[in-house]
Every structure is written in C-alpha cells, then in structure tokens.
Amino acid sequence: MISCLIVDDEPYARQELADLLLQAGDLQIVGQCSNALEAMQAISKHKPDLVFLDIQMPRISGMELIAMLDPETMPRVVFVTAYDEFAVRAFDNHAFDYLLKPLDEKRLRQTLEKVRKDLRPKSLDVLMPQYLEHLPCFSANRLKIIAVKDVEYVFSDLSGIHVATAKEKVHTELTLKVLEEKTPLLRCHRQYLVAPSAIAEIEILETGAEVTTHSGAKVPVSRRFLKPLKQAFGFQ
C-alpha cells in the first residue's frame, strides 16, 4: 500500500481528492490536514510515501512547508493548485507531479501510475525558499506560528526540539539541522542554536563560554563552536 497525506485548507477539495484516491485500491490515506502546522506533525508521525499538497494556503504556503522538511526523508510531493502558473513552475522545477483544480480523474490516474513506477523522491531545491520566516510550533494542545525574528535560541533534549523566545518556550517538529540551514540561527553547542540578534553578552569560561540573551536567558557555548561564534561578531 502507498501511504499518502492530503494537505489543503479547503475541506471540500480534501474530501473530493480522498474519494478519488480510495478508488485506486492501493492507497492508504493516513491523514488530512487543513494547514502547514497540522501537516508538519502528520508527516513527522506517519512518514507518508506521498503528499498531495495545496500550494496556496494561509500563513504558511505549500512551498514554505516543503522547505521545512528534512531533504533526507522527503516524501514524494504532488502539488495541487487552482493556479496554472504555479503548477507549471512546480512541474518545470522537478516536483514529482502536479494536479490542477478542479481535479481530472484521468490526470490523477496518470500521477498515481508515476508514483507506482518511481518511488525515488525528487529534488525540490529550486522551489524551496532559501530561509524560513515562520516556524510551526505547538504548546500542549495549541498550535502556534513563531516568527523567526522573535526566536532567541533553540535547543534539543530527550523530549524533543524546543523554541525559546523572550516570552515563552514552545515545541517544534523541525530538526536542528533544518533550523540551522534555513534560519539565521547559529550553532553554539551540539544541542543549541542561538540567534545572533538575541546575544547581549558572551562570557568566556574555562570549558567554553556562555551566551546571555537580551531577555536574560543563559545559553551554553561549547569550545568547538566558540571560535566561529566569535568570528560572526568580528572577534578573533
């Protein structure tokens, strides 16, 4: 069975696609999501083979969602769009495939046949934004969107990845690797990233250093990452 996820902010569009996919017989729909925040959690949880992704969604677009995913575990992505110019751009830049709304059953069957024949994920590097502007986060049962400019630092522990602002700490499904590559956050420790704009002071210690943020938070800096951190501010 091919596991798939449907991501679209329009409930009728999700249901229409789900009804058509169920007729294929060899697809298992592991979830339906109405926005990128839900989709991030569903992709992390279910690790689907295939994602049908609407391009135009509020707050975080389908293109931005793709940029948040780890390329090493990227599922096959079929863009679903009502806008032809987006579809052509996606196809020309090596998206696995695209579908135009309203959906055409024959075109969908062609897409599914491509999926069956080729299980290798496609590179979407050309489509991805170079940097993220917002991070999908959650706290208890509340989903949140945190602006990258508001992040002071990020750290990992046994319970997951945590995003700290001057006001709160929340959780995210994004990996430290993706955050390091797609945001201005700098690696300062194996388990920590820090925002250069949030650094008020760097105190040199025998074992490394410690950053104090503008809100007063303390962030550890290991010897391995001290020199590049200092160089980022023009110190040798």
- In this prediction, residue 166 carries a pLDDT of 96
End-to-end CA distance of the chain: 56
Q: What are phi and psi of 235, to 5 degrees?
A: -95, 150
**Whole-structure pTM over 0.85, yes or no?**
no
Whether 222 and 208 have beta carbons less than 8 Å apart is answered as yes
As beta bridge partners, residue 33 has 7
Bigger pLDDT: 6 vs 92? 6
Q: Does residue 126 register a pLDDT over 60?
A: no
User: What digits encode the pLDDT tens for the residues 61-104?
Assistant: 888 888 888 877 788 899 898 877 665 665 554 468 888 888 99
For range 179-187, the mean pLDDT: 94
Bigger pLDDT: 162 vs 22? 162
Give helix 11-22 / helix 105-117 axis angle, nearest 10°.
60
> How does residue 146 score in pLDDT terms, banded at 50, 70 and 90?
very high
Contacts of 54 (CB under 8 A, 6+ apart): 7, 8, 9, 10, 13, 62, 79, 80, 81
Comparing CA positions, the residue from 70, 81, 16, 11 lying closest to residue 43 is: 70
Which pair of structure tokens corresponds to residue 98?
Answer: 């695209």
What's the sign of the alpha-carbon dihedral 128, 134, 140, 143?
A: negative
What's the sign of the alpha-carbon dihedral 144, 172, 89, 32?
A: negative
- The distance of Cα 35 from the centroid of its chain, to the nearest Å, equals 12
> How does residue 58 score in pLDDT terms, banded at 50, 70 and 90?
confident
> Are β-strands 160-165 and 199-205 bridged in parallel, bridged antiparallel, or unpaired?
unpaired
Contacts of 118 (CB under 8 A, 6+ apart): none
Whether 230 and 236 have beta carbons less than 8 Å apart is answered as yes
Bigger pLDDT: 120 vs 41? 41
Comparing CA positions, the residue from 42, 43, 36 lying closest to residue 134 is: 36
Bigger pLDDT: 177 vs 92? 177
Contacts of 195 (CB under 8 A, 6+ apart): 151, 152, 153, 184, 185, 186
For range 96-125, the mean pLDDT: 80
